[in-house]
Amino acid sequence: MIDYIEWLSTIEEEPELDGAGKLLAPVFAELLYDRKVKTIYEWCCGPAWIGLWLLEQGICQELVVSDINQKAIDCVRRTTDRHNYSVRSYLSDNLKGMPEHEKFDIIVANPPNFVNIQEDHPMGFLRYDLRPSDIDWKIHRDFYNNIRKHMHKESNMYISEVEPYKKEVFSFNKLYDLRDIEPIKDFSEMIVTNNLKLNNVITYDLILEDEGWDVIFGYPKREMAILDITIDNSN
């Protein structure tokens, strides 16, 4: 089986598309190692490190991805051609460009994780960067409002979030993201409102040093969570 680092070198990417998905792909693969499904969808895919690694590992037979950034979709298509992967890619503002006939067994994502990046922070310019910033959780809310029609009763979602139990997120010992309430409360409301069910919140520490993300965040690790979500079949 191919080594992950060796495999990464074959994936097309652009620096402005890097939202740390390459750090998360092995985490998702470990979480889903015993699953075998037909179709996985990666929302907010960027270069699609997560979805493509799951496809490479044989966890799915085919992959569907979408992103609002044309450069991301171009990268995925070049990678797909290189590996002869079975991938359908859509340039899409959230789910607006996703054909209604598409249905997914598993949905994975590393969406924008920060709701109110502080402009006076040294990295405050990222407030207007779609990789980390989801002002007022508009992207999340639109996704949860529309994803159910692309699921069946056995579908699973695994959505990565950063420190969802904290109202304040720090970087370089300075306030970076200020949330009105703990994001998990916002996400839970979005999930329940759309007849979905939050089954579990899987928390872990993501080591940032290996890929140099500690230089960006000012810490050697970051508290992370993966939200395990299904359709609420009781409704």
For residue range 128-179, list pLDDT tens digits in order.
888 899 999 999 999 999 999 999 999 999 999 999 999 999 888 899 999 9
Using the predicted structure, report yes or no on whether residue 16 has a pLDDT greater than 90.
no
Please tell me the predicted confidence (pLDDT) of residue 110. Answer: 97
Q: How confident is the model at residue 2 (pLDDT cuts 50, 70, 90)?
A: confident
For residue range 33-46, list pLDDT tens digits in order.
999 999 999 999 99
Please tell me the predicted confidence (pLDDT) of residue 172. Answer: 82
Q: Is 62 exposed, middle or buried (0-12, 13-18, 19+ CB in 10 A)?
A: middle
Please tell me the predicted confidence (pLDDT) of residue 234. Answer: 84
Please tell me the predicted confidence (pLDDT) of residue 127. Answer: 93
Please tell me the predicted confidence (pLDDT) of residue 122. Answer: 87
Architecture of domain 4-231 in CATH? 3-Layer(aba) Sandwich (3.40)
For residue range 194-217, list pLDDT tens digits in order.
999 999 999 998 876 555 544 445
Using the predicted structure, report yes or no on whether residue 219 has a pLDDT greater than 60.
no
Higher per-residue pLDDT: 220 or 123: 123
Please tell me the predicted confidence (pLDDT) of residue 221. Answer: 72
For residue range 62-119, list pLDDT tens digits in order.
999 999 999 999 999 999 999 999 999 999 999 999 999 999 999 999 999 999 999 9
Please tell me the predicted confidence (pLDDT) of residue 123. Answer: 85
